[in-house]
Structure 1
Amino acid sequence: MGRIGVAKAVVILSGGLDSTTCMGIAQHAGYELFPITFDYGQRHRIELECAKKVAAHYGVRDHRIVSLDFLRQIGGSALTDDAIDVPTSGVSRDIPVTYVPGRNLLFLSIAASYAEVIEATAIYIGVNALDYSGYPDCRPEFIEGVQHVLRIGTKAGVEGRSMQIETPLLHWSKAEIIRNGLALNVPYELTTSCYQGGEEACGECDSCRLRLKGFAEAGARDPIPYRVSVG
């Protein structure tokens, strides 16, 4: 049950900077927030605890954590296979080894199932086509394709009830994401972006580098601790 007369939004919440910014944006838009977090055996498991803290910060009544251990079973990514090292040499424009096969497709499918049951009208996901253009499941054409499937493949869709995938960060730089988040008092101190999953962010993986660069370009200080700060 939600608040009477208030539209609901399912927010795919990883505990990272981008998804937490989506929480702030969805709240600012007036939605009642229903975050969903996926435990898919990722090596950066500290983000699960971050997601819990972010959900508590926003005072949500229902934070779902869904197990998708199959993604670790099949591996194929530096985030789910310990035999594949997380790269620390710099950001690549190619599809990186941190790409998790089918991850966002699964996330959106399950989020859509949840949204249909609770009659949410929006699904927020923090995909970004600028900083992560190497990921095929962070591109506009991917989101458009999934949106089409939801229109023709769900009861809500065929009955004409809106279930819109919201991607407010899609075309923003990391600095723009951070500036907008800071304006909404997004609690970045509760988040992590590191692929390594240590108590302190490594400062060397692609995700740390992009985050540090974004804060620098936004003229702000990143509030989380780093083991190494490479800029």
Structure 2
Amino acid sequence: MESNKKAVVLLSGGADSTTCLAVAVKKYGAENVLALSAFYGQRHKREIESARMVAAFYGVDHKEADLSLAFSMSDCPLLAQSTHHIKHESYAEQLKELGGEGTVDTYVPFRNGLLLSYAAAVAVSVGAEAIYYGAHADDAAGRAYPDCTPEFAAYMNKAIFEGSGRTTHLEAPLINLNKAGVVKLGLELNTPYQFTWSCYEGGEKPCGTCGTCIDRAAAFEANGVKDPALED
């Protein structure tokens, strides 16, 4: 555990960011971790509600911000103002329709770039040496989410390090793991997946058929365990 050092974690309330939080808490201790969540204009607030529960579980400080104005001109179907419907098919199927490579409809324009810039400003303000975010290999595949690729993370790390006066840097501990690998790591860290929310729809229960639901179900199945968020 890194005593007297701090970390900032982008916490959406999903499985990936919660796993990142588990990694940071193990390294720095809950008292030295600040979780940041953002409302970016999404259709529902289930993610934010989950982030609050996860932060409470770990006992970390948790701050929320409204960054929705930055995406007010986007027609991404994840956003409340969008006229598009969320596709209920796997990412593999969506990439196939794009010819094997391209951004999927649920890519919110440069969202991670904005969130990481926000986190960098906070990190400098509170004296945190690291910023954690949960990009992983499945999101980067085919450049479905270009702000999740290793290239993006590397360039953002350089920008953050230089722009912060070389006081803080970016950590992407899941960047080389697929979703099954993320869940495997999370299970080893006793990550509270029962509190997390990944579904793009905001119902009482996950829809089970959107891209992220399909991805999540396959990841838990690959690890031979039932998703605790689906247990009665």
Return the TM-score normalized by structure 1. 0.89
1:143 aligns with 2:153: yes
Q: State, as a whole percentage, how many aligned pairs show the same letter.
A: 40
Partner of residue 229, structure 1: none
Whole-Å separation in 1 of the counterparts to 2:3 and 2:220: 37
SS of 1:151's equivalent in the other structure is: helix
Partner of residue 35, structure 1: 35
Gaps of 5+ in 1: 227-231
Map residues 28-67 of structure 1 onto 2, 5 A cutoff: 28-31=26-29, 32-60=32-60, 62-67=61-66
CA RMSD of aligned residues (A): 1.7
1:101 aligns with 2:109: yes
Give a deviation string over 1:163-220, Cα, whole Å, max 9, x none.
1211111111111111111111100000010011212100000000000000000111
Whole-Å separation in 1 of the counterparts to 2:70 and 2:223: 35
Gaps of 5+ in 2: 96-101
Whole-Å separation in 1 of the counterparts to 2:70 and 2:26: 33
Q: Is the 8 A contact 2:161 2:169 kept in 1?
A: no
The runs of 4+ residues in structure 1 deviating greater than 3 Å are none
Give a deviation string over 1:122-149, Cα, whole Å, max 9, x none.
1000011334421110001111111121
Map residues 1-231 of structure 1 onto 2, 5 A cutoff: 5-31=3-29, 32-60=32-60, 62-80=61-79, 81-91=81-91, 92-93=94-95, 94-133=102-141, 134-154=144-164, 156-157=165-166, 161=167, 163-225=168-230
- Judge which range, 85-94 or 42-51, deviates more: 85-94
Give a deviation string over 1:3-39, Cα, whole Å, max 9, x none.
x942111000000000000011111112421000000
> Of Structure 1 and Structure 2, which has the larger fraction of its residues in helix?
2
- Name the amino acid aligned to 1:170: I
- Name the amino acid aligned to 1:140: P
SS of 1:207's equivalent in the other structure is: helix
Whole-Å separation in 1 of the counterparts to 2:161 and 2:129: 12
Q: Is the 8 A contact 2:7 2:28 kept in 1?
A: no
Whole-Å separation in 1 of the counterparts to 2:150 and 2:34: 24
Q: How many residues align?
A: 217
